[in-house]
Chains A and B, each alone.
Chain A
Amino acid sequence: MEFEAVIGMELHVQLKTETKLFCSCRVEFGAPPNKNVCPVCLGMPGVLPVLNKKAVEHALRVAIALNCRINRESLFARKNYFYPDLPKGYQITQYTTPIGWNGWIDVNGKKIRIKRVHLEEESAKTVLEGDYAYIDFNRAGIPLVEIVTEPDLTSPGDAVQFVKTLQTLLRYLGVSDADMEKGQLRCEPNVSVRRRGEEKLGTRREIKNLNSIRSLERGIRYEIDQQIKILSSGGEVERATLLWDEKEEVTRPMRMKEEEEDYRYFPEPDLPPLLLTEDFIKEIRKTMPELPHERKERLIKEGLREYDADILTRDLERGRYYDEVVSLTSDPPETAKWVITELKEKFPPARELAWIINAVKEGKITRNAGKEILKEVIEKGKPAEEIVKEKGMTQVSDEEEIRKLVEQAFEMHPEEKERLFSGERKLVGFFIGEVMKLSGRRANPGVVKRMIEEMLG
């Protein structure tokens, strides 16, 4: 019996704003516990929320980038439940009217539909130590966008690609670092399995606590296998929320859906409706950065191979660096080669790499010398031009000088010279090598080859 999986995703993304969603406490990663707190985010009596405009802009950017329809008027709502890390006993979120809805994103040529994009506040963080639970309210009130997809994914690999694509997108937008390990991006896939060809969806289960791409992949794979096992043995999948156990690599039920909570949503009376004017939306659209797919298309149009364009799209930092260098070299393929293959973590100032690329192109230095210079530029922070001068690494292209070196090489290897002149042409390479050695690798190999061939007649 053939089965197929149907997967939807719910993602929570921490927005990179200066301050929290409803108060002016700083948003800071790694601050000492309960440093960035105030009466508002601690849910003290009498406090009221004041909406952070920057967070709205960020959420709107996400909604626009995900091709969503935008609600000109959206309401905030209270989601009521008790939990020690929820200071007010309710979370301010959006319910009936999210900022964005009905969008889509292209993931490797497949269209994944986006159900909704909305803004809400983060809860505090519970830290368990021994018999006690400690609560860090630094996290309480950090702005989140929640992104919910339709069940358009069909495999763990699909889900991984989707999340990676989204991560890249969020980083492009500058709205989040979207680091899963740091909890800046959290995925809760819902998985169901059905017999291939069947229309009706199976019972779905949500998986929580997937803290890395690897866990995401394994968690979904595990759950698909579980459901297939249940179905093929004639059983029925029960609705549940599952927790991924990273160590054991299994899911465990957190709660069965029978005890599904009733959040008693109602409109937040402390906040007026959020009105997004045409002008405001226009302004945000105008200031949208280049998006990943736009960037890739541009790079290909500029003459890069798809493979290179892809790397310079996914790795935004490298991509931006490439942009800077290429503006000084005007040679996209050559620049891409250098930026992709010759640089690891540390990037030298763009003008230095550009100088090296240009110098190689103009024949001032050899490619190998260029690589060595680049290493020194990165290590010592010296300008490339200075290193070249110090070491006398300028390439020799002067024909007279090279002719002398060729003659010197002939003298050193009379036997090989004899064979070369009697027609053993493959020895040209041998003598090019010898001349390069004699020149301290500074000779222009093209000129050397030409001189030898000239001398052969």
Chain B
Amino acid sequence: MEIVNLFGWEIKEKIERGEISEKEVFDAFYERASSSSLNTFITLAEGREEKKEGKLRGIPFGIKDNILVRGMKNTCGSKILHDFIAPYDATCIERLKKEGGVILGKTNMDEFAMGSSNEYSAFGPVKNPFDPERVPGGSSGGSAAAVANLEVPIALGSDTGGSVRQPAAFCGVFGLKPTYGRISRYGLVAFASSLDQIGIIARTVKDIALTLEVIAGYDPMDSTSSPEGVPPYSKIIEEPCGYKTLGVPEELISGCDEEILNAFQRTLEILQRLGHKIVRITLPHAKYYLPTYEIIAMAEASSNLARYDGVRYGLRVEGESAEEIIEKTRMRGFGPEVKRRIMVGTYVLSKGYREEYYGKAQRVRTIIKEELEEALREVDFIITPTAPFLPFKLGERKEDPIKMYLSDVFTVFANLAGLPAISIPGGRINGLPWGFQVTGRAWDEENLLTFAYHLEREGGWSLRQ
């Protein structure tokens, strides 16, 4: 088998047994990534760090370009940070490196993680490995496409409303968004702080489990990270899974494309054959998920992106006064989608509107959280398709934000409630990948990953190529 076909954990074992060297591994993936025609990477590493022992020894990682790697460019897919060199390592990067993980490069993304198709990157769109005329999903499109195209075995992304899970589904790979607070956000460039969570994309659940156990856990630099213990996921997932009860929220998925719905139905049948129980659940506030998410995400984004003013770093467009510098820099530095969200976010926080929009959204968020927690007392997992449609053509939704935002319709609730969710590749429809999403209880990545791992092995969803 070629090196690029190996899973991450296999690479590590082969290196430990002396069957391949770190250099061979790095070179093989570097070669594939640098010759890729998908525009997956914005920056490739200039070299490999000294080899190290550890749980991730020699495994190359693709890192979304909004997670800081010291000394490497960190553009966030934006012109405004086109030349920004990260002055420190994000906590998750520090932990990856400590366990011998190797940074292969920084992956392309929608500008500031705002988008669902990767078309809003200042560095050009990423293409879907299954059809270069189609989008890979977003905003972690570079990460998902790179993993699917064997340019890197594992990649990190960020997920604010589905930005790891949806591109994973579009590219036919696994994508996990852990519980909010599970992985430190220190060094992840903020989009919407109360929703953002670093996620992991790979071709096997085992690689996700292995990576999670390394990078998860309390970080004194992130006051919202949790002291909750981190179990050895990569071992736990090998244990028996048992039969689970999965809840299908009918009203949430009713608006889904026919072909996806049919494939989803067949998936549910397979799950039943495997012995799992499928039940209907009711989520009365489902229609408020997306608007609630949008208000909160854009409000927080409008504040989080205020620091890009041309004063201290990044792009600066000169002007006669400080005010003019700030205005011109932001005018030229941000793309249209980012501007749109900053404007909406500013509006919903403005005097006279704050209560009506932001205040109300916060209250609805509490209700949504309770509703989902309630549902997860009745069932082990909530199951839905990951996205309501298949990977669409480049340019198809770019000019229609409302249609674009619909990509997140099944994924945002996990962010609103801080729940862990994983997208599992469901196979192909007309040659294009689709995925389904399993959402678990807060802090219970253990059961979620075990379940996903067993499906990967027994359900016929393995990606072994």
Contact = CB atoms under 8 A, between A and B. Distances in A.
Interface of A: 39, 42-51, 78, 80, 82-84, 87-90, 133, 135, 262, 264-266, 269-272
Interface string B61-83: 00000111000001010000100
B82 to A, nearest CB: 13
Contacts of A44: 87-88, 312-313
Instruction: Pick from A45, A48, A265 the residue with the most CB of B within 10 Å.
Output: A45
Given A87-B307, A266-B299, A50 B68 contact: no
Interface stretch (B38-46, B169-177, B347-355, B401-409): B347-355
B217 interface: no
B303 A78 contact: yes
A432 B300 CA distance: 87
A449 B117 CA distance: 107
A367 to B, nearest CB: 62
Interface size class, chain B:
35 or more
16 contacts: A39-B87, A43-B312, A45-B66, A45-B76, A46-B90, A47-B187, A48-B222, A48-B223, A82-B306, A82-B323, A262-B351, A264-B354, A266-B299, A269-B193, A270-B223, A270-B224
In the A-B complex, list the 6 residue pairs whose CB atoms are closest, starting with the nearest: A89-B306, A264-B349, A269-B193, A269-B194, A45-B189, A84-B322
A269 B309 contact: no
B190 interface: yes
Contacts of A270: 190, 193, 223-224
A48 B187 CA distance: 8
B186 interface: yes
B392 interface: no
Given A84-B309, A264-B349, A46 B187 contact: yes
B76 A264 contact: no
A402 to B, nearest CB: 77
B412 to A, nearest CB: 16
A266 B311 contact: no
Interface string B340-375: 000000100111001000100000000000000000
A271 B190 CA distance: 14
Instruction: Pick from B76, B84, B193, B223 the residue with the most CB of A within 10 Å.
Output: B223
A271 B224 CA distance: 6
B156 to A, nearest CB: 13
B390 interface: no
B454 interface: no
Contacts, number: 101
Contacts of B220: 50
A266 B354 contact: yes
Given A43-B312, A46-B187, A51 B223 contact: yes
A46 B189 contact: yes
A264 B346 CA distance: 8
Nearest to B192: A269
B188 interface: yes
Given A269-B192, A270-B224, 9 more contacts: A45-B74, A45-B84, A45-B307, A47-B186, A48-B223, A80-B306, A89-B303, A264-B349, A269-B194
Nearest to A90: B303
B309 A82 contact: yes
B270 interface: no
Nearest to B68: A46
Interface of B: 66-68, 74, 76, 81, 84, 86-88, 90, 185-190, 192-194, 220-224, 299-300, 302-303, 305-307, 309, 311-313, 322-323, 325-326, 346, 349-351, 354, 358
Given A82-B309, A84-B326, A266-B349, A49 B223 contact: yes
Contacts of B346: 264
B191 to A, nearest CB: 11
B188 to A, nearest CB: 6
A87 to B, nearest CB: 7
Nearest to A44: B87
Contact of B81 (A45, A50, A82, A266): A45
Contacts of B187: 46-47
B224 A264 contact: no
A262 B353 CA distance: 11
A49 B304 CA distance: 13
Contact of B224 (A39, A46, A89, A272): A272
Nearest to A272: B223
B395 to A, nearest CB: 29
Contacts of A43: 307, 312
B386 to A, nearest CB: 26
Contact of B303 (A49, A80, A84, A133): A80
Nearest to B325: A84
Contacts of B224: 48, 269-272
B455 to A, nearest CB: 34
Contacts of B68: 45-46
B30 to A, nearest CB: 26
Contacts of A48: 185-186, 221-224
A90 B303 CA distance: 7
Nearest to B219: A48
Contacts of B322: 83-84, 133
B326 to A, nearest CB: 5
A271 B86 CA distance: 23
B323 to A, nearest CB: 8
B307 A88 contact: yes
A39 B192 CA distance: 19
Given A46-B188, A89-B309, A271 B81 contact: no
A216 to B, nearest CB: 29
Contacts of A51: 223
Contacts of A42: 312
Contacts of B302: 80, 264
A16 B44 CA distance: 46
A89 B303 CA distance: 7
A222 to B, nearest CB: 29
Contacts of A272: 223-224
B86 to A, nearest CB: 8
A45 B84 CA distance: 10
B306 A88 contact: yes
A89 B188 contact: no
A449 to B, nearest CB: 76
B303 A46 contact: no
A90 B88 contact: no
Contacts of B188: 46
Contacts of A133: 322
Contacts of B86: 46
B81 A135 contact: no
A186 B312 CA distance: 27
A66 B186 CA distance: 37
Contacts of B306: 80, 82, 88-90
A46 B312 contact: no
Contacts of B323: 82
Contacts of A83: 322
A57 B415 CA distance: 34
Contacts of B309: 82, 84, 89
Contacts of B299: 266
Contacts of A46: 66-68, 74, 86, 90, 185-190
B223 A50 contact: yes
A152 B188 CA distance: 48
A243 B358 CA distance: 35
Contacts of B358: 266
Contacts of B87: 39, 44
